[in-house]
Amino acid sequence: MDMSEHMSPQELRRKWKLANAEPLEGGHRVEAYRALSGACPAFVPNLLSLSRTLLAGRQGDADDAVAQAEQALRDAADVSAGAPEPLLELGRFLSTVRASPVEAERAFASAAEGALSLLEEAWAGRIQALGAQGQLEAALEVEEQARGVFPNSKAITLAVASAHRHAAGR
């Protein structure tokens, strides 16, 4: 596959599932993940799986496996543009494998910030969707939960206002 051709999301997922099914013995799974990474270096689930598998099966040159696992994690964090999961896994790696608490804390802090932002958006979206369905009471229950974490959220305030508008028939 040349660089001008890209796999569809369905094809990526299919190939990743096939890689997941490869036996661990003999490095077959690692090689399948590497091949998929070569075809699509920005497919984060594969990079995370590659890293986990490299760390779990450190045979032969363990230092090389750790270095490759770290590179896969750093690539996943980079291409995911601040998504929490790759940063969380990088933080765990830095904390446990590299024993680098300062760098691990930075990764964990970025993961937490990204997760909180997603949570706020998810709650605001849920409130708005419940309001659009005429479920004001349910929307207000979600608001109560959300306000425990985000007491001054403008996004949640706007979503609640939208839910009230829908309830009023606007």
- Return the domain boundaries, the chain: 7-81
Residue type, 51: S
User: What local confidence, expressed as pLDDT, does residue 1 receive?
Assistant: 47
How many angstroms separate the CA atoms of 74 and 77, rounded? 5
Among 15-19, 23-27, 38-42, the least confident range = 23-27
Residue 5 has pLDDT above 80, yes or no: no
pLDDT at res. 85: 97
**pLDDT tens digits for range 68-87:** 999 999 999 999 998 999 99
40 within 8 A of 11, measured Cβ to Cβ:
no
pTM: 0.86
What's the distance, Cα to Cα, between the start and end of the chain in Å?
Answer: 53
The per-residue pLDDT for 3 is 47
pLDDT at 170: 63
3-state secondary structure of 90: helix
Helix 101-132 to helix 84-96 angle (10° resolution) is: 160
